Chain A
Amino acid sequence: MKEIERNCKKRLFLNWFVQALVFVITGLSLVPLFFILFYLTKQGIGSVNWSFLTHLPRPVGESGGGVLNAIIGTLIIASLSTIMAIPIGVTAGIYLAEKKTGKLVHLLRLSTDILQSTPSIVLGVIAYLWIVKPAQSFSAFSGSVALAMMMLPTIVSSTEETLKLIPYTLKEASLALGVPYYRTVLKVILPSGISGILTGTLLGIARIAGETAPLLFTAFGSPYLNFNLFKPMNALPLVIFNYASSPYLEWWRQAWGASFILIVMVLCFNLLAKWGASKWKIKF
């Protein structure tokens, strides 16, 4: 009897110990997060002011100057990628959800899986070889192509997942009214899934907005405000990278400022996605 009791105590102690360990380690893992957010806010807020947001970069040595061109560049490049990725991604997603089996379905699944796992720097290399090299010029357009390729798998899979959840009875209801298949998909299925697709797209934008590697040898960066898609264009991540690797104190400060703006942008897209997911939710 005593033996069992002692054993029981040991087991309970071990259980308690492991639980404590799990809790402590989990808590510890958040330390870097707070560390990073703390620095970002501390260093970032100090550098962000109205003129930082509304001025162009100044040459080395002059103080002041801002990142207006990078903010606009990031917005332009991200929108262009979204415009390119959505039609193909959503259409391919519909194909996956509607067909379910077949040779092309398997190929498409494999391709999106591969694209999802392809390192972003490789996509940068590809955009360079496909667009920059033949055109002999860095360009915002080539950067958008690289980012669009990154975004594509997110959109395909969020479209597929969303459409799969739509009850089959809805499709039947439409077909039974004599609505052709293509109209059923476009006017009944797609509108019912629009919230999921939008959410997926917003998450995709949040993911690419902070990407640097694919832009290094495509959009390349530029100190000027540029709206020409076929010329080099600046972007916030590029500014952060370039300034951080420079030897100038003033630029380091601006790198923190740019990071703060970037993280706020990314967070906004994430929050928008979360908010949209609940706001646009459709009750079946």
Chain B
Amino acid sequence: MEDKILITEKLYAYYGEHCVLKDVNLEIPKFKITAIMGPSGCGKTTLLRCFNRLHELSPGGRIEGQIWLGKTNLLSLNPIMVRRKIGMVFQRPNPFPTMSIYDNVIAGYKLNGIKIKREEADQIVETSLKKAALWNEVKDFLHRKGTFLSGGQQQRLCIARALAMHPEALLLDEPTSALDPKSTAHIEELIIELKDSVTIVIVTHNIGQAGRVADYTAFLYLGELVEFGPTERLFTAPKDKRTEEYLSGKFG
């Protein structure tokens, strides 16, 4: 069996009294791509936001149960430390509008007040942008504002920003839903390349996308984990009726 990096045990998540995740038991394997699918409103984003403890910052946000990051209890760690270890990329690209491309990449260091030397920063910027497959397009104007890039480039900049912190896992919340097909293909390639160095959890509505990139797929329905397994198996021989209906386009 391969290593597991993120493990949830009897995870419940609430907004106030409203229970959004019910008894989710999920084990996310290390250095693999795991897709989370399910109809709109089933709690995919909430699950991601539990992993980096952003959920508890929403009004009324509350978690019950256990989450393990490797061998440590994630819920007992300081949320700030968790977020530095687990990167997140959002549905809409959100580079910092006041910062240059360069500063956006090392924003995690700058904003956290972590001192790094100039050469070290240059190094981080270059490798992160290269990993995010953006380096060649922006290397000549690193000091222009990040908001002048195209949507797809901005999203890759956000991925570079997350990678710069050397995260153990990268959470992607529908990273391509705001992008055109070309940028989408670009980012999908990028995700596959990244999996050797970082564990990836990706939320997607696009069944094709999950099929193309994900090693494992989890199917959520109304806050419950219905099915989890290798993508191929789940797509070809779903065990649950609801998974089958979703895959055949009955709902969502």
Q: Do A and B bind each other?
A: yes
| A175 CA / B57 CA spacing, docked (Å) | 9
| A284 CA / B151 CA spacing, docked (Å) | 12
Select from chain B the residue with minimum beta-carbon distance to A195: B98
Q: Given that A183-B112, A191-B98, A192-B97 are known contacts, is A178 also in contact with B90, CB under 8 Å in the complex?
A: no
Q: Given that A177-B107, A177-B111 are known contacts, is A284 also in contact with B80, CB under 8 Å in the complex?
A: no
Q: Which of B47-99 contact A (CB under 8 A)?
A: 52, 54, 57, 80-85, 87-88, 90, 92, 94-98
Query: CB distance B165 to A172 under 8 Å?
Result: no
Query: CB distance A183 to B111 under 8 Å?
Result: yes
Q: Which of A174-191 contact B (CB under 8 A)?
A: 174-180, 183-184, 187-188, 191
Contact of A282 with B by CB under 8 A: yes
Classify chain B's interface size: 20 to 34
With a CB–CB cut-off of 8 A, which chain A residues contact B147?
283-284
With a CB–CB cut-off of 8 A, which chain A residues contact B96?
170, 173-174, 188, 192
What distance in Å separates the Cβ of A66 from its nearest Cβ neighbour in chain B?
44
Query: CB distance A184 to B111 under 8 Å?
Result: yes
| A157 CA / B145 CA spacing, docked (Å) | 28
| A229 CA / B183 CA spacing, docked (Å) | 62
Contact of A119 with B by CB under 8 A: no
Q: Which of A234-284 contact B (CB under 8 A)?
A: 282-284
Contact of B113 with A by CB under 8 A: yes
Contact of B158 with A by CB under 8 A: yes
| A176 CA / B112 CA spacing, docked (Å) | 11
What distance in Å separates the Cβ of B106 from its nearest Cβ neighbour in chain A?
10
| A127 CA / B82 CA spacing, docked (Å) | 51
Count of interface residues, chain A, beta-carbon cutoff 8 Å: 22
What distance in Å separates the Cβ of A123 from its nearest Cβ neighbour in chain B?
36
Which one of A176, A187, A188, A283 lies within 8 Å of B88 (CB-CB)? A176
With a CB–CB cut-off of 8 A, which chain A residues contact B156?
none
Query: CB distance B111 to A169 under 8 Å?
Result: no
With a CB–CB cut-off of 8 A, which chain A residues contact B83?
175-178
Q: Given that A176-B88, A177-B107, A178-B83 are known contacts, is A167 also in contact with B112, CB under 8 Å in the complex?
A: no
With a CB–CB cut-off of 8 A, which chain B residues contact A172?
54, 90, 94
Query: CB distance A177 to B108 under 8 Å?
Result: yes
| A284 CA / B112 CA spacing, docked (Å) | 22
With a CB–CB cut-off of 8 A, which chain B residues contact A282?
97-98
Interface of B is mostly: helix
Which one of B80, B97, B110, B158 lies within 8 Å of A178 (CB-CB)? B80
Q: Given that A183-B112, A187-B111, A188-B111 are known contacts, is A178 also in contact with B98, CB under 8 Å in the complex?
A: no
Which one of B52, B92, B95, B148 lies within 8 Å of A176 (CB-CB)? B52
Q: Which of A189-218 contact B (CB under 8 A)?
A: 191-192, 194
Query: CB distance B97 to A284 under 8 Å?
Result: yes
| A283 CA / B98 CA spacing, docked (Å) | 9
Query: CB distance A177 to B112 under 8 Å?
Result: yes
Which one of B82, B92, B111 lies within 8 Å of A174 (CB-CB)? B111
Q: Given that A176-B54, A178-B80 are known contacts, is A170 also in contact with B92, CB under 8 Å in the complex?
A: no
| A177 CA / B95 CA spacing, docked (Å) | 12
Q: Which of B112-140 contact A (CB under 8 A)?
A: 112-113
| A136 CA / B108 CA spacing, docked (Å) | 55
With a CB–CB cut-off of 8 A, which chain B residues contact A187?
110-111
Select from chain A the residue with minimum beta-carbon distance to B109: A177
Interface membership of chain A positions 11-37, coded 1 if the CB is closer than 8 angstroms to chain B and 0 otherwise: 000000000000000000000000000
Q: Given that A167-B94, A191-B98, A284-B147 are known contacts, is A178 also in contact with B112, CB under 8 Å in the complex?
A: yes
With a CB–CB cut-off of 8 A, which chain A residues contact B92?
169
What distance in Å separates the Cβ of B56 from its nearest Cβ neighbour in chain A?
11
With a CB–CB cut-off of 8 A, which chain B residues contact A178?
80-85, 108, 112, 165
Contact of B161 with A by CB under 8 A: yes
Select from chain B the residue with minimum beta-carbon distance to A166: B97
| A183 CA / B112 CA spacing, docked (Å) | 7
* A interface, CB within 8 angstroms of B: 167, 169-170, 172-180, 183-184, 187-188, 191-192, 194, 282-284
Can you pick out 17 interface pairs between chain A and chain B where the beta carbons lie within 8 Å of each other? Answer: A172-B94, A173-B95, A175-B57, A176-B54, A177-B83, A177-B111, A178-B85, A178-B165, A179-B111, A184-B111, A191-B98, A192-B97, A194-B98, A282-B97, A283-B97, A283-B148, A284-B97
Apart from A174-B111, A177-B161, list 20 A-B contacts with CB within 8 A.
A170-B97, A172-B90, A173-B90, A173-B94, A173-B158, A174-B107, A175-B83, A176-B90, A177-B108, A178-B81, A178-B84, A179-B108, A183-B111, A183-B112, A187-B111, A188-B98, A192-B96, A283-B145, A284-B97, A284-B147
